[in-house]
Each structure stands twice: as C-alpha cells, then as structure tokens.
Structure 1
C-alpha cells in the first residue's frame, strides 16, 4: 500500500474503485495551533455550534471519558476522550489530557494534552496535535455559545464575574470579547493572590473600557455579577447558599463541581449531554444521587437551540458542560486543515514502517 500526503477525511467513503491508502503522519505544535486559531474565535464558536447540532442529531459517537487516577497523587488525573464526528468534516480520534493542579505551584500550567486524529476509512492515525490550546478553545467557545443562547430571554449581562482565573478563564473572556460581549464591570475572585493579580493585569490590558474589581470573597463576586463563570479546580462543591444567586444570574459552571445540590435545585439547569454530565461526582451527578431523579434538569443546550426547551428569564440558569470529545475533534480537524492548507504540515517519513502483510 502507498503512503499519501494526508487523508481526505471530508468524505466518509472513497469512490468504489479507489483503494484505501495509509496516510502520512503529521505533528502539529502548539505554536501552529495557536496561529491557526488566533483571530478566528467567532468562527470556532460557529464550528462548536455546528458540532452540537450534529451530536444532537445522532451523527457522532461520544463514549464515556476514561479517568486515570493515581493513589499516590490523588489530585492528579489523566483523561481519555475517544470520539467520532460525522458530517462534512468526518474524523475519529482521541484527546489525552492531564490535570495536575500542583503544577501551578511550580509555575507551569495545570493541564497538558495531545489530540490524535484518525482517518475514518482506514482507522490509521494521521496527526498528533498539541491540544491544551484546542481544549481551552473548544471549552471557551462552548461557554460563549451557551452565554449567547441562554441570555436571549433576558437582558444581556453587562457584569461578569470570574470565579477561578487560570487559562480557561482567560480563554472564556477572550471568546466572549471576540463574539460581541462588552462588559461594564468585570469581577475577579481566586484563592491564590498571584492568580487574582495576574488576571487583573490581563483584563486591564485586554478590556480597557471595563471596571475591574478584585473581590475578597466568593459571595460578593457572585452577588455583583449577572454572568458568573466558574473555572476552578474544585473536586467537590464549595458554594452552598442559594441566596447568593437570588438576583438570578446566568452561570457558566465550566468546572462542574463548584455548586452544592441546594444551588442546583434552586436553578434551571442546562447541560451539554445528560449522560456525560451525570457521572464522576459532578454537581449535577451529586444532585441526582441526592434526589434519586433527573427532573431538576431542564434539558440540553441543543434542545435550547432547537426550541425544544425555553429558558426562563426569572430564574438562575446554570450551564454545566462536561466537555465532549467531538468538540475537540471538530476544532482539531479545523486546525489540521488550516495548517495543511498553508503547506506547513510537519510529516514524519516512514512513521508507519511495517506496512506489508507478509514482508
């Protein structure tokens, strides 16, 4: 079998007279990923919306994520997200992402990741991409998309509060800013003083028209925000008082484990995928265990986008996205195609060496 320059994964099937070929294997660096995504955040939000619609229409395969945990390193974990994306840019693959919160103490990022893309026709992997930027981008794009759809029945929030201010918070702010959000006030809260000051500096450079306030406690941040973004490393709920949300904000519960069941039960809850969110001791999973029911869930973001679920204007609305592997595939395939289109792919010759069945 011959080696090709790269697979045409925009088709699920080759022509009947074409024989499958082994694709070349490319490595895409973080710098190349960043270059492919810079200046295209609104486009990525649209891509994520299209992917949610494919997922809702049953044109994806998105099995449960698999968690590798370590008895001697209980705060760390590595997660495998296998997935298959249909539609016009069909691709299969796997995200392998680690989360080691103690990295922050050493001055390096908490998360690191790679994304493997597989050719749907042959199953051969054809690319390995640095994926911390892809993962942060698809997470932030999902958050910006949800903020847009879930605010359409209320006044658009002008006061945003960031609870947890690492890389994900920065990406969420950037995606919101690049999709038309303009905030009069931006609140900041984090348990680490260095993180608070670092994020304030970022905001003062990137959002000069906004008033930036660093809060000393979580309650004051939440009560002063119409849009609250949770992006922490919390492993269990730590926000327990529903009264903090009595002004009915829109909550992007990205880190999934911040809100106690009491807060969840007092809100309208939207998820990205019911089965995925109701596992791994997320806040909504704990709420299901407490109540023995899923009645507290209003539905999915896809249901909101298709009009099957109406979002109330007079209740707190919480969006809890578990994070779907098909989103990583969609963004990763976009990056691959962009880099390939420039002729800049770094391929590894003879990566697949044993290609003849009998030598």
Structure 2
C-alpha cells in the first residue's frame, strides 16, 4: 500500500513581513545562531561550498548560491534549502542596497519547496548575530567595551550596530569610517538614533585602534597591512573577510565559524595559508568556545572570521517562516505545484 504523503502549502514571505518579524528577534537570532553552530560542530548539518556566479565583464559583481541542510535526527527541526544572493557594489551609487537575495526552504521529507522568503534581511541579521556572538565570547562574555569602531557604512554595518545595542551592549564611543562620506554620515546618524553616547566619524588609522574593530566592507583585497597593526587582546571582527593582510592573520589568534569554508576564495585567512604554507594560525571555532573546548588567551590580537554558512540562513529563515504563517503575515500561493498527485 502506498503511503500518502502530503505536500506542504507554499507561502511567500515578503520583505516587509521579514523585517517586521526580525525587528523583535535580534537576541533570539543570536541564540539561534549559537545553537546552529553547535549543531554544525556535532556533524548534523550539510553545508557544501558556495557557488559563485561571476561575470567576466563585470568582475565586481557576483551572485552566490548557498545550499545547505540542517539534519535533526531526534526532533522536528530538519530543513534544507538554498540562498541565492547577489552582490552588486555599484548599486549604492543609485541609493539601493548592494545585496539582494531570496531564500527557499525545502521539506526534508519530500524535497518540495514550501517557502520563498526575502533573503537579504535574513542574511544581514544572521551575519550581525554571528558577529555579536563572536564578540561576546572573545570579550570574556562581557557586553561592555570602551570603543567600538566600524569600518564600512552599509547595511551589514547598520545591522551589526543595531544587534549590539539590541543585545544590551554598552560603549563609551562608537567610531565610524567609510570612504564614502554619505555612508559614514548615515551610519553615524543611525547610531545617534540608537542613543549611543558618543559617535564620531574618524580616519581609518583611528578606527583601527578601537577595543573592538568591525570590518563590514565590500573590499576585494587587503588594504590594512603590517605587523603590529593590532595590539594584544584587541578584538577584530573580520566580517567582510578580505580587509586585512596575511601577516596580521599569522600573528594573531584566529577563530572561525568553519575553518574549511573560510580558508577559500582568497579571504584574508586563505591568503595567509597561501603565503605561509600552513594553518598554524588557526586557533579554533566559535562552537569550541561555546562548548568550553577552548579558552581565550589575550597575548595576541583576537580575530573572528565567520564565512557565513547557509545553515544560518536556513535556521533564521525557518523561524521567520513559522512566525509569519502563524501570524498571517505570509502570502499563501494555492496550487503552486501544477500536479500534487502522481496519478
């Protein structure tokens, strides 16, 4: 007898709904990212290499496919899917965001897609949650630092700052640097809306001296170079992955979300591996810090380089989808599949 398996209803979750839901879930997102990292560390995920669609005549532009799956053998949290995210840096010249994305969720039992979500907001929030999570562990599980600097004044930078504040961090001063004056001023104004005590737009050299330095740019190759750039115990959130030179990586403690994924595609750690011919600079993963397998030493700079795995988008996306359906914020698409029975 053939087992009757139903196909889940198909929903679209538009950006307005995604934004509305995520605005109140930034602390939840941090916790969910932490749990997903632990799931990954246990080997209960599938996260292949990202696939980059590039354009020879437009080398700055790219569209990236991130397929992934979370395998929950003991519960009901399994999900698979793919994020399709475009990065077109020149978009900012027209006043629109650099990145745009969609996220597809697939039923782990049938393989049928059951949701299409606006993915750029999810990507930004999961990136910010990962950054703040890493900062917390490298900062001795303390939510205070005298100076935070952010290099880059775009959407990711804005989300990282908002997540820091939503997670009850406190700073005496927030410093901002961007080559684009308008972007720097916009992020500074946003910081003031968040009631940050003191906000300053500073030269790059000053930004590099902060207690916690965040890189959130679209840089394609290192421009911050030189031994001794960062002091022992200084925290560097290497979110955009390609801003700092190989020699800085080599002389620091380096933490990752996933070592194998991050040491590819000419990231700063990958350049260090190519230059020095080893991975001795690898200290461990944020999941190892969470589990207590590693302790943070402070006699070198502390660099956190999260590659940004698709499993994070799936975890956040599933949470957003479930809330959107429950609250009536998702748009049902009846008969999305032309044939729902084989015969």
TM-score band by shorter chain is over 0.9
1:71-108 superposed Cα distances (whole Å, 9 cap, x missing partner)? 01110000000000123421100000000000001111
Return the alpha-carbon distance in structure 2 between the equivalents of residues 156 and 315 of structure 1. Answer: 20
1:68 equivalent among 32, 38, 53: 53
Structure 1 counterpart of 2:301: 316
Q: Quote the offset at 1:246 in angstroms.
A: 2.4
Which of 140, 146, 165 is the equivalent residue of 2:153? 165
| 2:9 aligned with 1:21 | no
**1:11 aligned residue:** none
Of residues 148, 171, 186, the one that matches 2:136 is 148
Q: Decide whether the 8 Å contact of 2:18 with 2:122 is kept in 1.
A: yes
With 309-318 and 121-130 compared, the bigger mean Cα shift is at 309-318
Counterpart contact for 1:44–1:138, Cα < 8 Å: yes
Distance in 2 between residues matched to 1:344 and 1:169, nearest whole Å = 27
Who is 1:99 aligned against? 87
1:127 corresponding residue in structure 2 = 115
Pick the aligned partner of 1:176 from 149, 164, 172: 164
TM-fit CA distance, 1:179 = 1.1
SS of residue matched to 1:184:
strand
Distance of 1:162 and 1:171 partners within structure 2: 11
- Counterpart in 1 of 2:213? 228
Equivalent-residue separation in structure 1 for 2:15 and 2:225 (angstroms): 38
2:201 corresponds to which of 190, 209, 214: 214
* Mapped contact 1:163–1:231 kept (Cα < 8 A): yes
Q: Given the alignment, which residue of 97, 100, 104 partners 1:116?
A: 104
Q: Structure 2: how far apart are the matches of 1:175 and 1:194?
A: 22
TM-score where L is the length of structure 1: 0.91
Cα distance in 2 for residues equivalent to 1:246 and 1:313: 10
How much has 1:153 moved relative to structure 2? Answer: 7.4
Give the deviation of 1:155 after TM superposition: 9.2
Alpha-carbon distance in 2 for matches of 1:71, 1:286: 22
In 2, the alpha carbon distance for the partners of 1:153 and 1:69 equals 40
5+ residue gaps in structure 1?
A: 1-15
2: distance between equivalents of 1:123 and 1:94?
12
Partner of 1:357: 342
TM-score when normalising by structure 2: 0.96
CA 248–152 in structure 1, closer or farther in 2 if over 3 Å, else same:
closer
Look up the match of 2:288: 303
Per-residue displacement from partner, 1:183-230 (whole Å, max 9, x unpaired)? 10101100101111111111111124x2111113x111111x100000
CA offset at residue 266 of structure 1?
1.4
Offset at 1:157? 2.0
Q: How many residues align?
A: 340
The answer on whether the counterparts of 1:153 and 1:311 sit within 8 Å (CA) in structure 2 is no
Return the offset for 1:299.
Answer: 0.8
C-alpha separation between the residues in 1 aligned to 2:20 and 2:340? 34
Distance 2:145 2:282 in 1: 23
Task: Map Cα deviations across residues 141-199 of structure 1 (whole Å, 9 max, x no partner).
Answer: 00111111111178942210000110101100111111121110101100101111111
Give the SS at the match of 1:35: helix
How far residue 25 of structure 1 moved from its aligned partner, in angstroms, is: 1.2
Q: Does 1:330 align with 2:315?
A: yes
Give how far 1:243 is off: 2.5
Q: Which runs of 4+ in 1 moved over 4 A?
A: 153-156
Distance 1:99 1:195 in 2: 17
Aligned to 1:5: none
Partner SS, residue 124 of structure 2: helix
SS of alignment partner, residue 171 of structure 2: coil
CA distance in structure 2 between the aligned counterparts of 1:92 and 1:44, rounded to whole angstroms: 18
Distance (whole Å) between structure 1 residues aligned to residue 39 and residue 45 of structure 2: 7
